[in-house]
Structure 1
Amino acid sequence: MGMPVTVKGQVTIPKPIRDRLGLAPGSRVVFDIDPDGKVVLRKSEAPAAHQEDRFNRLIGCGTALRGMSTEEIMRLMRGDDDSDL
């Protein structure tokens, strides 16, 4: 049984495959095409640490932002603040 493609060209990666590749929300994948036409899905190498840390460290951390002003949160999201959460 195949997976349906949405109108946006999206396909759900089955959980056993996500688990096997170590994919989590926010992970990036690469599609390679073999000479015989097979498509290979693999986990992408992590982006530069600055880019990843700036956004990914906030995933699921809503409570860490409590008490911060909007301006402090915006500075953090822009990368103007190097402090750890």
Structure 2
Amino acid sequence: MFSVTVADTGQITLPQAIRDYLNLDGGSKIDFIIDEEGQVRIIPLDVSVETLSGILYRPDRVKVTLEEMDVSISEWVSDWQ
């Protein structure tokens, strides 16, 4: 476990081990998320495309055409309005 001190300005310095683990460099962006259990999670936003490759792959996913996507979006929008 790592402990840090919050400055009067609200800033903290992330320990080097945490920055290394999350692959953060100077200028990296992160999100703080409070999950359903009340835990705060740090999510790095500077993620390479290679890291994301295949993240949405589902073997049971049905392929659709662009036209089918347009129809689906149009239907959703009309229901939403």
TM score, norm. by length of structure 1 = 0.49
Per-residue CA deviations over 1:14-65 (Å, capped at 9, x if unaligned) read 101100111000000100101111100010146xxxxxxxxxxxxxxxxxxx
The amino acid of 2:28's aligned partner reads S
Distance 1:12 1:44 in 2: 18
Q: Does 1:23 align with 2:20?
A: no
Q: Determine helix, strand or coil for the equivalent of 1:42.
A: strand
Structure 2, unmatched stretches of 5+, are 48-81
Distance 1:6 1:22 in 2: 24
Distance 1:21 1:32 in 2: 15
The amino acid of 1:20's aligned partner reads Y
The amino acid of 1:36's aligned partner reads E
The amino acid of 1:13's aligned partner reads L
- What number of residue pairs does the alignment pair up? 46
Aligned-residue identity in percent: 37
**What do you get for the CA RMSD once the two structures are aligned?**
1.6
Match of 2:5 in 1: 4
Distance 1:45 1:4 in 2: 25
Distance 2:31 2:43 in 1: 5
